[in-house]
């Protein structure tokens, strides 16, 4: 019996409550669906509240003031439907919605969005963290919400410059993933050891190659070019992004983010 077989046998003796808990993983997904519906309901409430507010404002300043309801409002028979600002702030908290919708973002290791919302970027001057993050954007992908990743082209560091135990571990995991299952179609983005939003759709190697400057792209064509490699790369803001890395004949590297551009918040 090998040691791995022995370990597999030992794992058979795990606590029954752990095994029972894992017997019903669908519960995790149900939570996720519940979160989506809750987020939708919250959005609907917010929209209804804002619509009421705008109607009231129109009514008080425009022609509606002479309508049948205006007299009642002025005389106090109808209470103004002014929404409570704290309620609006609560239901529109993008971090909270995201955490409820994505079970992997719950818990101490995976609360990327909410954790990030409370932490200013390490290298940036103090500013509104939500603004820095770019806010949560509905990218029209089946109603899912992806956060835009703050990113500037000059942010992505060469792999050796951004070396860290976490980066090395991620790249080893990625190599193993590619070796055993091929190139994945989506990957997480990390910051400070935590996943940042749901896994992001990736662009293909060819798409990434087309984004290289013309001169560099020409050098990657032909027999001397090395193939692009999917790696995690560090940015100066502490993000670990999936990137396509191309090595030019002179040994220099070009790194193109593998995350679809629409999920990157470029510029300042």
- Site residues for other proteins per CB under 8 A: 1-23, 25-26, 28-29, 32, 103-104, 106-110, 169-170, 172-174, 176-177, 180-181, 184-188, 199
Nearer CB in complex with other proteins: 99/132: 99
Rounded CA-CA distance 55/59 in Å is 6
Q: How far is the CB of 189 from other proteins (least distance, A)?
A: 12
Nearer CB in complex with other proteins: 141/218: 141
Q: How far is the CB of 187 from other proteins (least distance, A)?
A: 6
Q: How far is the CB of 110 from other proteins (least distance, A)?
A: 6
237, burial (CB in 10 Å: exposed 0-12, middle 13-18, buried 19+): middle
Determine the longest span between alpha carbons in the chain, in angstroms.
89
Nearer CB in complex with other proteins: 109/261: 109
Nearer CB in complex with other proteins: 18/89: 18
Rounded CA-CA distance 131/117 in Å is 9
Rounded CA-CA distance 207/162 in Å is 24
Please report, for residues 4, 89, 174, the alpha-carbon distance to residue 98 in angstroms, rounded to integers and kept in the order given.
38, 15, 25
H/E element, 58? helix 26-61
Rounded CA-CA distance 50/199 in Å is 32
Nearer CB in complex with other proteins: 121/149: 149
Contacts 24+ apart (CB under 8 A), 68-77: none
Please report, for residues 53, 221, 266, the alpha-carbon distance to residue 216 in angstroms, rounded to integers and kept in the order given.
55, 9, 22
Nearer CB in complex with other proteins: 15/128: 15
Strand partners, 229: 245
Q: How far is the CB of 72 from other proteins (least distance, A)?
A: 50
Across the chain, where does the E strand assignment appear?
136-141, 144-147, 149-150, 186-187, 190-191, 194-195, 200-201, 229-234, 239-247, 253-257, 264-265
Q: How far is the CB of 44 from other proteins (least distance, A)?
A: 24
Nearer CB in complex with other proteins: 72/186: 186
Q: How far is the CB of 172 from other proteins (least distance, A)?
A: 7
Q: How far is the CB of 197 from other proteins (least distance, A)?
A: 12
């Amino acid at each position: 019996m090998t040691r791995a077989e022995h370990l597999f046998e030992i794992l058979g003796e795990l606590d029954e409550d752990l095994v029972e808990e894992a017997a019903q993983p669908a519960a995790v997904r149900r939570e996720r669906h519940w979160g989506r519906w809750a987020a939708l309901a919250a959005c609907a409430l917010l929209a209804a509240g804002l619509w009421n507010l705008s109607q009231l404002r129109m009514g008080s300043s425009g022609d509606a003031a002479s309508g049948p309801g205006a007299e009642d409002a002025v005389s106090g028979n109808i209470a103004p439907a002014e929404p409570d600002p704290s309620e609006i702030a609560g239901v529109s908290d993008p971090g909270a919605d995201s955490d409820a919708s994505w079970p992997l973002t719950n818990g101490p290791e995976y609360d990327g969005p909410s954790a990030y919302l409370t932490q200013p970027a390490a290298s940036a001057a103090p500013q509104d963290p939500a603004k820095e993050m770019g806010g949560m954007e509905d990218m029209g992908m089946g109603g899912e919400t992806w956060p835009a990743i703050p990113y500037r082209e000059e942010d992505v560091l060469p792999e050796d410059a951004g070396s860290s135990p976490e980066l090395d571990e991620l790249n080893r995991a990625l190599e193993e993933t590619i070796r055993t299952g091929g190139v994945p179609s989506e990957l997480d983005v990390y910051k400070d050891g935590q996943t940042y939003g749901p896994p992001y759709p990736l662009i293909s190697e060819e798409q990434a190659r087309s984004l290289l400057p013309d001169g560099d792209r020409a050098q990657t064509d032909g027999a001397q070019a090395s193939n692009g490699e999917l790696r995690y790369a560090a940015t100066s803001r502490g993000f670990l992004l999936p990137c396509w890395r191309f090595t030019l004949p002179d040994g220099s590297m070009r790194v193109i983010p593998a995350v679809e551009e629409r999920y990157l918040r470029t510029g300042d």
